[in-house]
Structure 1
Amino acid sequence: METTVHIADLPDFESEAVLRAHVGQTLAFYDTNAFDPAGGFFHYLKDDGTVYDRTHRHLVSATRLVFTQSMAHVQTGHASYRERTAHALAHLEVFRLPTGPAAGAYAWTLRDGVIEDPTVMAYGQAFVLLARAHAHRIGLCSAADVAQAFDTMEALFYRAADQAYADEINGAGTLIDYRGQNANMHMCEACLAAYAFTGEARYLQRAQSLIERFVFGLAEASGGLVWEHYGQDWSIDWDYNRDNPGNIFKPWGFQTGHQTEWAKLLLIAHGHAPDSRYIPRAVALQQAAWQHGWDASNGGLIYGFDPEYRPCDTDKYFWVQAESFASAWRLWRVTGDEAFREQYLQLWRWSWLHLIDHVHGAWFRILSASGGKLEDTKSPAGKVDYHTMGACWDVLAVGGLRP
């Protein structure tokens, strides 16, 4: 069953009530379909909520569910979401490696409750820190638990000489040569949350250091935008995954949504410790993402563009639109520039008409350039609508909305 939404039916996206109602509808999709009484949540849901893989679990989904459930508790005050956060947090421990060079870290995937892929990804460990920070906020983790997640990342991946985290420890316990910005960006996000909820200065300092390295340092070598892939010495690798621009975690090209995510992180960090360089840098990243990523013919932001700023993946991903409306709203509130308010509204309008499932709830994961359906898997590994609900909660936190 599908429904058609017309432009005349669009709600007021500058209304707090509209955003809260939308988050409630998204949560309801997962409340109804994802909870697994035997442990954790199901990670693979079709558009209608049908679970299409009951036995596989992914670390990124597992950690992000701690985030969504804890935030739902904070936003609604409902005890059930605190209980679900505890349920998700307990299941996360099944991923923990008991022995080996990375003992205490978290494996990438499970099958039937047993570790399937023991690869230790810095990307996944960063989300362990984010999960614990949010669990700490609602009293389910101690500050020491948050510190342990940070210290594990420090020991396994951080290289002080590089001012950055390495990326992956394979099943043999070897740190591979590949380096990437994506894990570092999410570690910056996790550190900002850890600082917000514990007050420990080292988390903010690390977030600021990562901003310096990636947004002000390495970006200079790639035309002022943040490139994805690097060699062991942090020299740019222009070819990594060139034949796989749609890769979920390591896509090729400039990622439209990663420019805007960094813009958002700059503004969050600026809110904690004002830096006169952060706002203009966030403006530049957002404007570049819009210039090179906005699809003037069809609407919406494309997934990625190449080093010559030509589109390399024109599909429309849910998270790109969500992260970009959050950064646009933050920029509108801090600069007063109407262009960012209009970006916020344009992204919401396109998403409401195309990406949001008004029948079953939540957002579709990916559409074609013109907005056509490409798959019927609403929430495969890693999605859980962390980006979409998180963007709404971020806008709500920033404020400036009508009731």
Structure 2
Amino acid sequence: MTDFPNFRSRAFLLEHLQKTMDFYHPRGLDPAGGFFTTFGADGTVLDRHARSLVHACRFLFNEVNAYLEFGRADYRDGARHALDFLVSQHRVPATRGYRWTFRFEGGRRSEEDASNITYGLSFVILAHAMAIKAGFPEAKSWLSEIVETMETHLFDAGNGLYADQADATFTGIASYRGQNANMHACEAMIAAYEATGERCYIDRAETIAAAVSLRLAGLSPLDQVWEHYRADWSIDLDYNKDDHSDGYRPWGFLAGHQTEWAKLLLMLDRYRPMDWHLPRARSLFDRAMALSWDGERGGMFYSYGPDKALYDRSKQQWVHAETIAAAAHLAVRTGEGTYWDWYERLWRYAWNHLVDHRHGGWYRALNEDNSIASAVRGDPEPDYHNMGACVEILKLIKE
């Protein structure tokens, strides 16, 4: 395709948001409670009973952002629908934790996994912050509660980071430590500050950002963010090596996490300016692009190893969405055309290969040759990354 829209225009970004929402809303809302999680390429619901904490929170995020951009009452109703299900079915009153997954049929839960997983709890923080933004003041108490719960059971004050997983009662803490959950905790704390203005949230975001993108990255062979650590936060270079089955804990340097951290550092810098944010964001972004970009067919390969060799050659939706947002932040902040060039190059790649022009939204993953790896949409990714990227770029345009 050679005739591209103006990817920097407000009109394009809003139209893209709208078409993405049209894929999920209202078909994704289950009148019995919550949201359907898995869809075919044409929007057909493939599983009517699966429920996922991450998916529920991301759906709420999307509904609120759509409401804030378009002002439609049905999107605010969708956010209310999501909030009600989150606190009535995922929240566990006795522990103040949140169920990770379950089946939901006839108003009853079954086959539930009540583990308290920090990745999911971080999205709970994000969800309640978004609910406050949508005008649901009761979400402020839910926000305070989940933050206090995580502080009590999961926060390692000596390292400024959260443990990754606890059992259903918070009596057992897994020895694995990971950066991914902490990255999303940082994202969530920024949103909590935006929603409440309470300084403690932006302070915690800064603590996490420095711990991961400076201290932990400094332990790695490439001075980039490695995924996996032991209980004492020493780096574990072998965790899940040669095992591609764990989507939440993949081995290698993930190109998209380097650029996602670049984006988060510049979002954080809006509210808590620090001299190190911009240089670190540039370093993470520039090296990730140098190592992951497919110079022959376009697009970003998923991951690479400490020796800089490519490890996973798939091309993931979320990677490109986060990198587009990071490129826009760097372009605006530095004024350098190089980052606008990356912005255009990434959008053109996405437009040609990832965007579903017929049904809306993006395909989740492509193969190395840019063919579609799977047409199934949804859990745990109801286009949250590309919706969020568009919203961030709209903020930059406004600023």
**TM-score, normalised with respect to structure 1:** 0.94
Aligned position for 1:270: 269
Structure 1 segment 272-351 matched on structure 2, within 5 A: 272-351=271-350
Deviation at 1:376, TM superposition (A): 2.1
Cα distance in 1 for partners of 2:223, 2:126 equals 28
Indicate which of 45, 49, 55 corresponds to 1:55: 49
Deviation at 1:32, TM superposition (A): 4.3
Q: Is 2:32 the counterpart of 1:38?
A: yes
Cα distance in 2 for partners of 1:245, 1:15 equals 38
Indicate which of 7, 11, 16 corresponds to 1:13: 7
* CA deviations over 1:222-252 (Å, ceiling 9, x no partner): 1310000000000111111112246321111
Amino acid aligned to 2:229:
Y
Aligned position for 1:3: none
Cα distance in 1 for partners of 2:96, 2:146 equals 9
Deviation at 1:137, TM superposition (A): 1.0
Cα distance in 2 for partners of 1:305, 1:91 equals 39
Deviation at 1:98, TM superposition (A): 4.0
Q: 8 Å contact 1:43–1:57 — kept in the other structure?
A: yes
Secondary structure of the equivalent of 1:399?
helix
Cα distance in 1 for partners of 2:243, 2:85 equals 32
Structure 1 segment 1-400 matched on structure 2, within 5 A: 6-7=1-2, 9-93=3-87, 94-99=89-94, 103-112=95-104, 113-114=108-109, 116-142=112-138, 143-171=140-168, 173-222=171-220, 223-245=222-244, 247-379=246-378, 381-399=379-397
Amino acid aligned to 2:98:
Y
* CA deviations over 1:188-240 (Å, ceiling 9, x no partner): 00000101110101101100001111111111111310000000000111111
Deviation at 1:152, TM superposition (A): 1.4
Which protein, 1 or 2, shows the higher relative CO under an 8 Å CA cutoff with sep ≥ 6? 1
Q: 8 Å contact 2:34–2:51 — kept in the other structure?
A: no
Secondary structure of the equivalent of 1:374?
strand
**TM-score, normalised with respect to structure 2:** 0.95
Amino acid aligned to 1:133:
A
Q: 8 Å contact 1:292–1:305 — kept in the other structure?
A: yes
Q: 8 Å contact 2:179–2:228 — kept in the other structure?
A: yes
Secondary structure of the equivalent of 1:176?
coil
Higher strand fraction (1 or 2): 2
Cα distance in 2 for partners of 1:24, 1:89 equals 22
Cα distance in 1 for partners of 2:245, 2:341 equals 28
Cα distance in 2 for partners of 1:366, 1:235 equals 32
Instruction: Give the CA RMSD over aligned residues.
Output: 1.4
Secondary structure of the equivalent of 2:36?
coil
Deviation at 1:18, TM superposition (A): 0.7
Amino acid aligned to 2:350:
S
Cα distance in 1 for partners of 2:35, 2:141 equals 26
Secondary structure of the equivalent of 2:233?
coil
Amino acid aligned to 1:87:
H
* Identity over aligned pairs, percent: 41
The total of aligned residue pairs comes to 391
* CA deviations over 1:330-358 (Å, ceiling 9, x no partner): 00000011111011111100000001111
